[in-house]
Amino acid sequence: MNFLSINWNPSPVLFELGPLAIRYYSLMFVLAFLLGIYLSKKLYKNDNVSIELVDSLFVYTAIAILLGARLGDVFFYSWDYYKDHLLEILLPVKFNPFRFTGFMGLASHGAAIGVIVAIFLFQKKKLPEKSILWILDRVAVVAAIGGAFVRIGNLMNSEIIGKYTGTDYGIIFQQLGDTAPRHPTQIYEAFSYFLIFLILWFIYWKTEKRKKEGYLFGVFMILIWAVRFVIEFFKEAQEADRAEWMLNTGQWLSIPLILVGFYFIFRKAK
């Protein structure tokens, strides 16, 4: 390591119990959910809504995030592989040769769609006295910090990597055989998501904007997907056949989500 670059070669496995491997990536997911539950209960308590509902909400969202993110990766990025390996879509294994891998292919755009569907179902069954937007606003406040934990997991896996910097600055991913530094895009995103969490936390507790349903959700959508759009310019393309596109898949998918955010910020309240 010199002053500007880091040789990065951590094991993605925290420890092993026989055939079961506990990965940093999985640990980051667990920590994200536990912190999300803790922070959400503070919001629900402040709004005089039973905090017991938060546990049910996170069951819904946990399933939706994993399923939506998995299917998002399959259909947005990896269909060329999974069309010939259909059983591996929902099973955490590889069959040739057989090995336990966990769910390593997850896409945030798919997770976003999954969460919205889950909240729709949760509102109908568990919290009909509140609107879907009321629930989305509070989920949005804590969701960004969860994204920060996930990107730390990506860093430990040496995945979602950046382009070569062409300078001495960056991270050298030795597990990938690199000898030159790349942009640490995982760190860029994790830091950005943490700042977005602080912004949303401030808006909720220190302003009256939380009373406009959909506002916090709108701010979340604009900031999260704008960050994703910009940082994608520094990432390696996840699909080799689309590497020469002016905008990559992640950026095209981010644009309509940013527009949704602007709609909820500027729409007139009933």
Q: What secondary structure does DSSP assign to 106-152, as a single string?
A: --HHHHHHHHHHHHHHHHHHH-TTS-HHHHHHHHHHHHHHHHHHHHH
The chain-wide mean pLDDT, for the chain, equals 86
Note the Cα 265 to chain centre separation in Å.
22
Q: Is 98 helix (H, G, I), strand (E, B) or coil?
A: strand
The residue among 69 and 32 whose pLDDT is bigger is 32
Output the pLDDT for position 186: 96
Q: Is the pLDDT of residue 246 over 60?
A: yes
Q: Is the pLDDT of residue 54 over 90?
A: yes
Q: Is the pLDDT of residue 12 over 90?
A: no
Q: Could you tell me which of 165, 138, 169 has the C-alpha nearest to residue 58?
A: 138
The residue among 92 and 237 whose pLDDT is bigger is 237
pLDDT (mean) for 173-187: 95
The residue among 104 and 235 whose pLDDT is bigger is 235
Round to whole Å and give the CA distance between 185 and 151. Answer: 9
101 — pLDDT class (breaks 50, 70, 90): low
The residue among 244 and 206 whose pLDDT is bigger is 206
* Distances from the Cα of 241 to the Cα of 10, 30, 158, 232, angstroms: 29, 34, 22, 16
What letter represents residue 89's amino acid? I
Output the pLDDT for position 31: 93
Give me the residue spans of the domains in the chain: 21-266
Output the pLDDT for position 240: 56
Output the pLDDT for position 81: 72
Output the pLDDT for position 141: 94
The residue among 40 and 99 whose pLDDT is bigger is 40
**Number of other CB atoms surrounding residue 49 within 10 Å:** 18
Convert the pLDDT of each residue in 72-99 to its tens digit: 777 777 777 777 767 766 666 666 666 6
Instruction: Give the percent of the chain with pLDDT over 70.
Output: 87
Q: Is the pLDDT of residue 216 over 80?
A: yes
Output the pLDDT for position 94: 65
pLDDT (mean) for 195-207: 97
Tell me the DSSP string of 22-43: EEHHHHHHHHHHHHHHHHHHHH
Output the pLDDT for position 106: 64
Output the pLDDT for position 206: 96
